[in-house]
Amino acid sequence: QVQLVESGGGVVQPGKSLRLSCAASGFIFNNYGMGWVRQAPGKGLEWVALIWYDGSKKYYVDSVKGRFTISRDDSKKTVYLQMNSLRAEDTALYYCARDYCSSTTCYDYWGPGTLVTVSS
Amino acid sequence: QSVLTQPPSVSAAPRQKVTISCSGSSSNIGNNYVVWYQQLPGTAPKLLIYDNNQRPSGIPDRFSGSKSGTSATLGITGLQTGDEADYYCGTWDSSLSAVVFGGGTKVTVL
**Got the DSSP string for B1-58?**
--SBB--SEEEE-TT--EEEEEE--TTTGGGS-EEEEEE-TTS--EEEEBTTTBPPTT
User: Are B31 and B94 within 8 A, CB to CB?
Assistant: yes
pLDDT in tens, B6-60: 999 999 999 999 999 999 999 999 999 999 999 999 999 999 999 999 999 999 9
- Amino acid B19: pLDDT: 98
User: B87 — contact with chain A (CB < 8 Å)?
Assistant: no
Q: CA geometry: angle at A91 spanning B95 and B27, to 5°?
A: 10
SS3 of residue A64 by DSSP: helix
Residues of A in contact with B96 (CB under 8 A): 62
What integer pLDDT is reported at residue B40 of this predicted model?
Answer: 97
What span, in angstroms and rounded, lies between the C-alpha atoms of A59 and B3? 17
Determine the distance in angstroms separating the CA of A106 from the nearest CA of chain B, rounded to an integer: 7
What whole-number percentage of chain A has pLDDT above 90? Answer: 96
Q: Identify the residue among B47, B74, B91 best suited for mutation to test binding to A, counting A beta carbons within 10 A and taking the highest.
A: B47
Statement: residue A104 has pLDDT above 90: no
Q: What is the mean pLDDT of chain B?
A: 97
Q: What are phi and psi of B81, to 5 degrees?
A: -60, -30
Query: CA-to-CA distance for A13 and B9, rounded, in angstroms?
Result: 35
CA distance B86 to chain A (A): 9
**H helix runs in A19-102, sequence order:** none
Cβ contact, residue pair A95, B103, below 8 Å: no
**Distances in whole angstroms, Cα of residue A32 to Cα of each of A1, A27, A117, B50:** 15, 9, 29, 16
Cβ contact, residue pair A103, B51, below 8 Å? yes
pLDDT, one tens digit per residue, over B63-109 is 999 999 999 999 999 999 999 999 999 999 999 999 999 999 999 99
Structure confidence at residue A102 as a pLDDT band (50, 70, 90) = confident
| Dist CA A15 CA A13 (whole Å) | 6
pLDDT (tens digit, 9 = 90+) per residue, A7-66?
999 999 999 999 999 999 999 999 999 999 999 999 999 999 999 999 999 999 999 999
